[in-house]
Amino acid sequence: MTIPHYLQNFEHFTPKTVQPFFFVFLRGETNLSTKGETMKVFVTGGAGYIGSTVVSELIRAGDSVVVFDNLQQGHRAAVHPKAEFILGDLKDRAVIDAALAAHQPDGIMHFASNTLVGESMDKPFLYLSDNVRNALNLIESAVEHGVRRFILSSTANLFDDPAEMPIKASERIVPGSPYGESKFIIERFLYWMDRIYGFRYAALRYFNACGAAHEDLGEMHDPETHLIPLVLQVALGQREKITMFGDDYPTPDGTCVRDYIHVLDLASAHILALRALDQGSRTYNLGNGQGFSVQEVIETARKVTGHPIPAVVGPRRPGDPATLIASSEKIMEELGWEPRYPDLRQIIEMAWAWHVKHPNGYEE
């Protein structure tokens, strides 16, 4: 096996064994210029998969970070040691007020949310009530405490019926679930806060986050619903097989096609957007601009792990579109962003290396 350049810091790398000299290369390849400007950033959900990666990259870029998380879905071990951590819940407005008054951040990044599309169909009030109410607590407190920069972790689930593919940021909004609807409601509140108070925001609507940032930051959810970690759990012997939900879609191999964006590419987009808010609010779609089918993901994982990864075909899931691919043209043109890790094999190799080292995730 030929070792890719970005994994050459491993000793004795094989598809099944990985040494912990992990991702040293990232410290050079993803360096973000701060252009002489550093900030104090308040990050809700900063112990979660995407939030913790963004926190790590903010600190590498020279910013100071306060993480606010109730650890319902996040992991304390994922929080960068240089970040200040507050155990708190966005349901508690007084705790938010106290945190913002004490730290006086320059900007807020909001990741904390209930995020399961399927669950939102079964428990719509959890999403249409809790997600929205918690975000409004945070936004109202931010306005009252003079914070004027806000990044919203939004979603591709706003686009249940796109008119064209790839999906542009100007595409009409048709939320695909109460989860998607909750994010759209929050976007509309942000629009009015900008109109009324000059509250600058960026809504970043991203597609399938994936990959691992470095040796101590990877993807772990409970329950796990994302395809790549589910496939890798089969390779680790933690699952018997992977189920493909339908193989009769109008795609090249009959399985659904999705846009997979590396979590480090998401992090760079968040930081670039935060730096640009002084020039006005903005909305972006974030993805690779290319799609990979479920079957392609499984086959690539077989090659990376050396495991057969048994797969079976199950029935279609209600509401699954055949293809979802993002157009990131707008953020590329306006901020110069571009994905550094667009290759599916590279994404899965990086994720596999983290899972091999952390087979039980953040649990000891």
Catalytic residue numbers read 179
Structure tokens at 36: 């002489």
CA 55 to chain centroid, in Å, comes to: 12
Closest listed residue to residue 353, CA positions, set 10, 46, 96, 113 = 10
Name the nearest CA neighbour of 259 among 337, 155, 109. Answer: 155
Q: Which two tokens stand for residue 69?
A: 């998380």
Residue 123, helix vs strand vs coil? coil
Per DSSP, the three-state class of 41 is strand
Question: For residue 335, what are the CA distances in angstroms to 120, 204, 282, 328?
Answer: 33, 13, 11, 11
Residue among 198, 158, 180 nearest 281 (CA): 198
> Which of 114, 108, 355 has the alpha carbon at shortest distance from 239?
355
Q: For the purposes of burial, counting CB atoms within 10 Å of the CB of 278, is it exposed (0-12), middle (13-18) or buried (19 or more)?
A: exposed
* Structure-block tokens of residue 289: 């601009």
For residue 135, give the nearest of 44, 39, 266 by alpha carbon.
Answer: 44
**Is residue 271 packed enough to be buried (19+ CB in 10 Å), middle (13-18) or exposed (0-12)?**
buried
Distance CA 221, CA 46 (A): 14
Residue 138 identity: L
